Amino acid sequence: MNQMLQEPEVSQEVSQAITQTSHVPETPDLPPAPAHPRFTKPQRVAFVQSSWHREVVEECRIAFLAEIEARHIAPAQVDVFEVPGSFEIPLHAQLLAKTRRYTAIVAAGLVVDGGIYRHEFVADTVIKALMDVQLKTEVPIFSAVLTPQQFHESAAHFDFFRKHFATKGIEVAEACANTLHSLERLRGQVAAGIV
């Protein structure tokens, strides 16, 4: 014999209370992911990083690759080169720029006290040399070569600078993509005789 289960009668007040307490509040809509413009021509980027304090500097590369992909340059379009220290970056950047294979070059390094050179001298020399390469070759070069005022070989400093380099990786990817878009527009205007 089949017996149907019947719901017990519930008073209107109880029914209202159940409805009110079981109502799940609506979650606010998340803002849409930013829509980054696409490039009209393929882009290829060289990423040159120093191996001095690799575990810190690589955070820049990792964050850069993630952000540049969000900006429509696939990681496969980024070639990574490693050099011993920041002092060696400009020569590699110059040789890479002269190949005309790359639409942009990114440099990443950590310059700290020690050795025979003062770290401010090395950092200034590297930045000036990168600017010279950029102006001579017309290939934009972006720098995440950083020189902290005080760097100690401690877990706290390594942790701080790993996070800082991750932030710099995002920032340099944004600058790289925005500049490449700007140059693409400008070169199109020059070719069309607008500028």
Domain boundaries defined on the chain? 45-191
Q: In this structure, which topology does domain 45-191 adopt according to CATH?
A: Rossmann fold (3.40.50)
d(CA 181, CA 174): 11
Q: Strands 45-50 and 78-83: what pairing? A: parallel
- Helix or strand holding residue 105 (H, E): strand 104-110
pLDDT for 5: 45
Question: What pTM, to 2 d.p., does this model score?
Answer: 0.77
pLDDT for 172: 96
**Enzyme catalytic residues:** 118
- Helix or strand holding residue 130 (H, E): helix 119-137
Dihedrals φ, ψ of 135, to 5°?
A: -70, -35
pLDDT for 4: 46
**Residue spans of the chain under pLDDT 50:** 1-5, 7-8, 116
pLDDT for 122: 75
